[in-house]
Amino acid sequence: MAPRRILSTRTGLVAGLLVLLALAASGRAAATPDIRHWTADEGLEVYFVRTTALPMVDLELTFDAGSARDGEHPGLARLTSNVLGEGAAGLDAGAIARRFEDQGARFSASSDRDSASVRLRTLNDPETMSAAVEALSLVVGEPDFPGAAVDRERQRMLTALRNNRQDPGYRAQEAFWEALYGDHPYGHPPGGTEESLNALERADVRGFYRDYYVRGNATLAIVGDLSRAEAEAIANHLGESLRPGAAPEPLPKPGPSVRAGETIHIPFDSSQSHVMMGQVGYARGNEDHFALYTANHILGGSGLVSRLAQQMREERGLSYSVGSRFTPMERAGPFLISTQIRSDRTSEALEVLRDTVTSLRNEGPEPDERERAVENITGSFPLQLAGNRNILAYVANIAFHDLPLDYLERFPERIKEVDREAMVAAMQQHLEPESFVTVIVGPRDAEGETADEGEQ
């Protein structure tokens, strides 16, 4: 099957130089990416950023097809994603891989709780780019899901699941999500369970693909050295390759955890205890995001200079590392504090963690803390946009969550607008330390922390 010619137009060097000169003249050369958005001929939503630093093109197709869509089959979304490139249009995995390798292109697929993504990196030479995009269109538009590949990947996932049970950090993470979200789709393990994986069949994978890898359930992000016309040609071809179909119904909103305020202890023979503590947070697009992002930077998001690190490590020697983060998702994602602590001082450590959150929540940051946080966040932000792949990750996220096109441009400005009062109001609205779910994986504290024991 010979690759089809998709692209026939190319912006010349002179035009590229003119664009760069125009950007420099307007002060935009070092600014945030200029994101263009349109709907392709077949209905695919497209987000495009032209960059000229490298003769490369990166693109990402994102589907609302994460583990939250597994239903009664935990692990199905990940299994589907993992075998997507194992055969397409009658070509086996080796032939598909050679299609990409012959062009020096790189293909990958992955999934998380919210979404599944397919990525391609290719040189921007028209012939090379056309062949690489054509190979990608076969993978996403005509996958075969060979039975042998499905069986092989299912066995690999089962082996990984058994190995992960020997990792206290993994066990703490899975137990935390289950305790926090319960029967909500976010509470289901993305890697599945032994029972669910053993029950999955090729027909399940094909059905999941048929339901969720469709045009109306996808967004396309393109970043690289190519013209708008070339980006449109790529988008139109990929849109034509995808099956027609609509996005699924929105996920239900998670309610408060039924295990709020509980401490769950999972016995594990290790020198330290892994602790995860937190609650249901907020969803992407929440107006309090910038205030909470800044507040968390002070609390536990700034490494060794954060309040949690100072209280846990520097002042008491309870932990070598500790951090906290909000993870906004399509629906309310978690607020999480994670650390490894001395098992003989577990009760003291849990008290310090809660007290540190409560103090910042009730009293707010000191003026110098706020200033340092704002300077650090805004000063380091340009580094997070260095390179096409970093830009692609942000653009794909903006596309999937339907965030404003000027989100990146306004991010530093929104952070600078955050003051003490905004942080206190947001924390008091979204954080309830007394309701935190706490998971401990490790030896039991000799002092005896209050906990429900049990395997998770």
**Domain annotation for the chain: domains and CATH numbers:** 31-246 (3.30.830.10), 263-453 (3.30.830.10)
| Single-letter amino acid, residue 84 | L
The model's pLDDT over 91-117, given as tens digits with 9 standing for 90+, comes to 999 999 999 999 999 999 999 999 999
Query: Which region among 4-8, 25-29, 145-149, 302-306 has the lowest average model confidence (pLDDT)?
Result: 25-29
Question: What pLDDT is stored for residue 271 in this prediction?
Answer: 84
User: Hunting for tokens 């026939």 — which residue is that?
Assistant: 8
Question: At residue 2, does pLDDT exceed 70?
Answer: no
The answer to whether residues 67 and 190 touch, using CB atoms and an 8 Å cutoff, is: yes
User: Hunting for tokens 């704002």 — which residue is that?
Assistant: 374
Q: Confidence band (pLDDT; 50, 70, 90) for 26?
A: very low
- What ranges make up the beta strands (E) of 281-413? 319-326, 334-342
Q: Name the residue with higher pLDDT: 233 or 444.
A: 233
For 165, half-sphere exposure in the C-beta direction (CA atoms, 13 angstrom radius) is 10
Mean pLDDT calculated for residue range 230-255: 97
Mean pLDDT calculated for residue range 344-366: 96
Mean pLDDT of the chain: 91
The answer to whether residues 253 and 185 touch, using CB atoms and an 8 Å cutoff, is: no
* Full-model pTM: 0.90
Query: Which region among 62-66, 231-235, 291-295, 442-446 has the lowest average model confidence (pLDDT)?
Result: 442-446
The model's pLDDT over 261-272, given as tens digits with 9 standing for 90+, comes to 999 999 999 889
Mean pLDDT calculated for residue range 378-393: 94
Q: Confidence band (pLDDT; 50, 70, 90) for 343?
A: confident
Q: Could you count the other beta carbons within 10 Å of the beta carbon of residue 21?
A: 11
Q: Could you count the other beta carbons within 10 Å of the beta carbon of residue 401?
A: 18
Question: What pLDDT is stored for residue 27 in this prediction?
Answer: 37
Sequential DSSP letters for 21-67: HHHHHTT-TTS----EEEE-TTS-EEEEEE--SSSEEEEEEEES-SG
Question: What pLDDT is stored for residue 7 in this prediction?
Answer: 53
Question: What pLDDT is stored for residue 406 in this prediction?
Answer: 96
